[in-house]
Amino acid sequence: MKTYDQKNFFKHTFCEFKQVECFNFPENTNYKSKSESVYFYTEKGVYRKSNHWGRVANCRWKLISNENYKTQNTVIGFAKWRDFYPINSTEKQFFIEVNFEKKSAKLKPKKNNSTTFLFSFSEAQKKTRQINHLLKNDNWAQHFDIPLEDLQQKIITKFINSNKTLQEIKRSFK
């Protein structure tokens, strides 16, 4: 697995930064981007002060925030170097987390010693979009004789635990 630091963390990576309430950036901040984001590097990771998260240049950086966060507000996040993952790789380092109650799916980086079925970033991203569509629309389910919630759970569970296409899995339930 690739090791990240201040020289390469900003090159095609996925990361979940955790919001930090109090951190004073020193005068000699390590880096300030064209979009006014400020970075401070430590031995363990990087602090980022910014008003934009999600798609950042060629990266996908999410902010795990507290309840008070609103988009476009400037907040500070921290991420450890080990929390960065390559997104332009074929390495299978991501899994899909589904919340059936909230009808949402998210891709997540693998956890140590995880037995979860893993995908490359692009595979996980594509499957996540498909799952969110299955959860939010029910037109596709009208030709099945299984209650919608049961059908969604069965198909999606099979989908996130295999390399089969969604079409193959759907066909197996007809």
Q: How many CA atoms lie within 13 A of 129 on its CB side?
A: 5
Tell me how far CA of residue 174 lies from CA of 38, 113, 141, 143, 154, in angstroms.
Answer: 54, 36, 10, 8, 13
Tell me how far CA of residue 103 lies from CA of 99, 131, 152, in angstroms.
Answer: 6, 9, 10
Q: Count the domains in the chain.
A: 2
Residue in the structure block whose two tokens are 């919608």: 148
The reported pLDDT for the residue numbered 137 is 92
120 and 79 inside one domain: no
Kindly state the average pLDDT of the residues 146-161. 94
pLDDT tier, 1 (very low <50, low <70, confident <90, very high otherwise): low
pTM: 0.80
In a domain, 3, yes or no: no
Kindly state the average pLDDT of the residues 9-23. 92
100 and 47 inside one domain: no
In a domain, 1, yes or no: no
19 and 55 inside one domain: yes
In a domain, 109, yes or no: yes
Q: How many CA atoms lie within 13 A of 89 on its CB side?
A: 16
pLDDT at 92 over 80: yes
Boundary of a domain, candidates 30, 56, 86:
86
70 and 99 inside one domain: no
Percentage of residues in the chain with pLDDT exceeding 70?
Answer: 98
Return phi, psi of residue 154, to 5°: -65, -50
In a domain, 6, yes or no: no
Q: From the DSSP assignment, how many helices (H) and strands (E) are in the chain?
A: 3, 10
Boundary of a domain, candidates 63, 86, 109:
86
119 and 66 inside one domain: no
Domain of residue 79, residue span: 13-86
Q: Model confidence over 60-83: pLDDT tens digits?
A: 999 998 777 677 788 999 999 999
105 and 81 inside one domain: no
Least confident range from 56-65, 66-75, 82-91, 158-167: namely 66-75
The reported pLDDT for the residue numbered 155 is 95
